[in-house]
Amino acid sequence: MSNILSVLIFFPLIAGVFGFFVNKNSIRVYGIVVAAAEFLLSLWLWMSFDTTDAGMQFVEKISLIPEFGISYYLGVDGISLFIVILSTLMTLLGIVALSIKEDLKNMIITLLFLEVAMIGVFVSLDVILFYIFWEFSLVPMLYIIGAWGGPKKLYAAIKFFIYTFAGSLVMLVGILYLAYIYHATTGVWSFSLTDWYGLLLPTDVQTILFWAFFLGFAIKVPMFPFHTWLPYAHGQAPTVGSVILAAVLLKMGSYGFVRFSLPLFPDASVAFILPIAILAIIMIIYTAMVAYAQKDMKQVIAYSSISHMGVIILGTFAMNVEGISGSIFQMLSHGIVSGALFMLVGVIYDRRHTKLMSEFGGLAKVMPTYATIFVVMTMASVGLPLTIGFIGEYLSLAGFFKVSPIMTILAGTSIIVGAVYMLSVVKKSFFGPLANPENEKLKDLDSKELWALVPLVAIVIWLGVYPKPVLEPIDNSTKALVQLMHKKAQTDKAKKIILVSKDAKEAK
């Protein structure tokens, strides 16, 4: 099935439309079945994926607007493959764990549409197509936050929408400029990424474009100081919204850096390692501190996301295979771990309708399974070896160490400060005496929640112990990417810093 990517995109779309005709009482099962089918399709994609091939696979290209070089151009490589699977998985688990009673139908349909946008973003090879999905993903998320969110939901939803929208508009100008340059150089209009990869840009143009794209991606990631929409969005979003936001939507930004900024503007990327690394380090340390100061459990996780994204950004800008592979792996790991953590917060929120840690304490006694899974996820979050969290973090930091040891040490404090805020959450919520009488009768996880969480626990450990099936395709594609960057690099500095791996060198 060579058009599996189209199927992946359009299946949830059609299923979402059909969802309108499904009876309200049966919609949950419908949602689960559709999401599961989609997940299985994505697994099939993985199964039929040739892991030795570093290039784009399952490529589909249909010209949409030939006049302007816009086409329906899809493809997947090791870098995007697993983020696609992550998207389908998190959607499935999000639907499984849904605890919303009100307007469930709308929620499930919205989630399916969101899934379309997410997958679309990661498999688009045409930049305009990418942009369409990128922007469109905001809409369902806006609805999810705005319709099912907390008391300040409207503020949060609109802030989320406008902030990210503003950033991506600047990116759009960048995209158009790049297309113009492509047109000016080759005489034809094209928005396919693979065509653009062949473009050698002067460094000053690269600089302008780099920052234009940067703004779009940085707000999405979100990088300091563009991060303030995130705590609101997470704080107000319903559980499933937070799960998907943290697990997938944030990855769009970091994916953008890998897919666009690095290969298109290698010289500029190298030239701006320093400022970006500084921002990343601020993200890591500063937001970790902010996370530590939070009183709301969900806000802690929200800020921790920013902190972790800092590591991802740092890894991306390591300009070597180790760092970039690591950062991509860390995207997956953060997706799974923070997704799970948000689900866990959702569990307690469903029971107590509060997320304030001061309301809890001693929960481990009444909800031991819950506490166990929370601790597993905490440990993954703080990057314990043999959990999924370690590998990405380790590789990212290791990669960046080549660029700057000092900054890596600063960034490495993430393993300390991360432990500080996560353990303090665990201590405040789960340990200590069961002081609040309201907590005494709490029920442990029910089967629905277990079905959603246990697979994540399994993945956390499986990929922590044996990441190879995932890391290998990522690594292959990253090697090709770095090689491309090295080939394209014009400045000596970039040539020096972009580090092609040895076996790739030998292969050459």
Partner 1 sequence: MENLVYIALFAPLVSSLFAALFAQKPKIQLVGIVTSILIGISLLASVTLLLDIHESGKAVSVTLMDWIQAGDMDIKFGFTVDQVTAVMMSVVTLVSTVVHVYSNYYMESDKSFNRFFSYLSAFVFSMMVLVMSDNFLGLFIGWEGVGVCSWLLIGFWYERKDETRDVNPSISPSWAANEAFIMNRIADLGMLVGIFMIYWNLGTVKYSEVFAHLDQLSHGMLVGIGIALFIGAMGKSAQFPLHTWLADAMEGPTPVSALIHAATMVTAGVYLVIRANPLYSQIPEVGYFIAVVGTFVAIFAASMALVNRDLKRVIAYSTLSQLGYMFAAAGLGAYWVALFHLAAHAFFKALLFIGAGNVMHAMHDELDMFKMGGLKKQMGWTFFYMGLASLALSGIYPLAGFFSKDTILEVAFNEHTYGIWFTLWLTAGLTAFYSFRQVFLVFFGDERYHEIGAHPHEAKAYALWAMAPLAILAVIFGFYKEDFVEFVTKLLPAYEMSEHTHHMVWILTLVTTAIALTGIIVAFIKYSKGLKRDLNFEQNNKLYKLLYNQYYIPVLYEKAFAKPYKELSDIAWQEIDMQVVDATVDGIAKAVETTGDVSRRAQNGNLSTYLKWMAAGLIFVTLITVISVVIK
Partner 2 sequence: MAPINFDLSSLNLVTMSPMLVTLVGALVILCIDLIKPNLDKTLYVTLAMLTLFIAIGANLSLSTNQRGLFDTILIDGVSLLGQLLILAGSMLFIPLALTKRKFHDFSYPEFFSLFLFMVFGFQFMAASDNLILIFVGLETGSLALYTLIAMHNTRLAHEAAIKYFTMGAMAAGFFAMGAAAIYAVTGSVEIFSIAAVMQERQNEIGMLIPVIGGALFMIVAIGFKVSLIPFHMWTPDTYEGASAPMAGYMSIVPKVAMMVVAIRLFGVYMELDIKVVKMAIIVLAVVTTTAANMMALVQEDVKRMLAYSSISHAGFVMVAIALDTTKGYSSIFLYYGLFLFTNLGAFAMLWISRHKYNIHHDRFHHPYSKFAGMIKIAPIPAVIMAVFMLSLAGVPPFSLFWGKMYVLSAIVDSGHYTVAIIMALNSAIAVYYYLKLIVYMFLKSPADNQGKVVYANRAFSLELVIGIAAFVTITSVFYINPLMSFITDLVGASGY
Residues found near partner 2 in the complex (CB under 8 A): 64-68, 128, 131-132, 135-136, 138-139, 142-143, 146-147, 153-154, 157-158, 161-162, 165-166, 169-170, 172-173, 176-177, 179-180, 183, 208
Amino acid at 373: I
Q: Which of residues 417-446 bind partner 1 (CB under 8 A)?
A: 419-420, 423-424, 427, 430-435
Stretch that binds partner 1, among 11-19, 57-65, 258-266, 285-293 (CB under 8 A): 285-293
Shortest Å, Cβ 368 to partner 1 = 5
Answer with the entry of partner 1, partner 2, none that 131 interacts with (C-beta below 5 to 8 A by kind).
partner 2
Shortest Å, Cβ 500 to partner 2 = 34
Q: Please, is 204 exposed, middle or buried when counting C-beta atoms within 10 Å of its C-beta (0-12, 13-18, 19+)?
A: exposed
The answer to whether 498 contacts partner 1 (rule: CB under 8 A) is: no
Q: Which of 135, 472, 487, 491 binds partner 1 (CB under 8 A)?
A: 472
Stretch that binds partner 1, among 19-27, 50-58, 104-112, 287-295 (CB under 8 A): 287-295
Answer with the entry of partner 1, partner 2, none that 43 interacts with (C-beta below 5 to 8 A by kind).
none
User: Rounded to the nearest 5 degrees, what angle is found at the Cα of 217, between the Cα atoms of 211 and 218?
Assistant: 80
Shortest Å, Cβ 351 to partner 2 = 26
Cα 255 from Cα 261, distance rounded (Å) = 10
Q: Which residues contact 326 (CB under 8 A, 6 or more apart)?
A: 315, 318, 391, 392, 393, 394, 395, 396, 397, 398, 399
Q: Which residues contact 63 (CB under 8 A, 6 or more apart)?
A: 70, 71, 72
DSSP of 2-35: TTHHHHHHHHHHHHHHHHTTS-GGGHHHHHHHHH
308: nearest Cα among 236, 386, 227 = 227
Answer with the entry of partner 1, partner 2, none that 153 interacts with (C-beta below 5 to 8 A by kind).
partner 2
Number of residues that bind partner 1 (CB under 8 A): 72
Question: Per-residue string for binding with partner 1, 2-41, x by CB under 8 A?
Answer: ----------------------------------------
Within 10 A of 207 (CB to CB), how many other CB atoms are there?
Answer: 16
Within 10 A of 157 (CB to CB), how many other CB atoms are there?
Answer: 25
Within 10 A of 250 (CB to CB), how many other CB atoms are there?
Answer: 24
- When the beta carbons of 70 and 340 are compared against partner 2, the nearer one is 70
- When the beta carbons of 173 and 398 are compared against partner 2, the nearer one is 173
Contact 107, 148 (CB under 8 A): yes
Q: Which of 17, 409, 458, 507 binds partner 1 (CB under 8 A)?
A: 409
Question: Per-residue string for binding with partner 1, 197-226, x by CB under 8 A?
Answer: ---------------------------xx-
Answer with the entry of partner 2, partner 1, none that 302 interacts with (C-beta below 5 to 8 A by kind).
none
Within 10 A of 31 (CB to CB), how many other CB atoms are there?
Answer: 27
